[in-house]
Amino acid sequence: MNESLEVSWSGEHAIVRMPAELDLANAASVDSQLAHICQGARGVITVDLSGTSFCDSAGLQSLARGHRLATENGGELRLAIGDSPVLRILQLTGTDQVLPVYRDVKHSLDTPRAGA
């Protein structure tokens, strides 16, 4: 499945809306697109998971890779959760201890960049 990620900008802050499900079926496409965004952006990238209802290990790997690429390129990747049940998956796997989790996109936008 090849789904295009929706990307919007608020100044130098990229907001990337994830699909309803982030799993093995679309992980390769999401991984490739997110990697491209993370390699090109030097500021904050907020991954909006508020509309995502499911995320498996392949999806978690895509998010972790995006985080690593953003950091290596001088950026910062954040996860905006909203009411998504994906938060529980992040908590159970400990991913919420590695990737910064925010209540929603507004909370991420309102939070200054680390070290700024």
Query: Would 21 be classed as within a structural domain?
Result: no
* Per-residue pLDDT at 91 exceeds 60: yes
DSSP state of 2: -
Query: Would 33 be classed as within a structural domain?
Result: no
Query: Would 71 be classed as within a structural domain?
Result: yes
* Per-residue pLDDT at 3 exceeds 90: no
Q: Identify whether the C-beta of residue 44 lies closer than 8 Å to the C-beta of residue 75.
A: yes
Query: Would 19 be classed as within a structural domain?
Result: no
Q: How many domains does the chain have?
A: 1
Query: Would 97 be classed as within a structural domain?
Result: yes
Which domain, by its residues, includes 76?
A: 44-111
Query: Would 3 be classed as within a structural domain?
Result: no
Both tokens of 32, joined, read: 């490739």
CATH number of the CATH domain containing 94? 3.30.750.24
Mean pLDDT confidence for 55-76: 94
Q: Quote the pLDDT of residue 116.
A: 59
Would you call 53 helix, strand, or coil by DSSP? Answer: coil
Query: Would 18 be classed as within a structural domain?
Result: no
Mean pLDDT confidence for 54-82: 95
CA distance 4 to 111: 27
Query: Would 52 be classed as within a structural domain?
Result: yes
Q: Quote the pLDDT of residue 12.
A: 83
Q: Identify whether the C-beta of residue 50 lies closer than 8 Å to the C-beta of residue 105.
A: yes
Provide the percentage of residues in the chain whose pLDDT is more than 90.
83
Which of 62, 48, 56, 46 is CA-nearest to residue 21?
Answer: 56
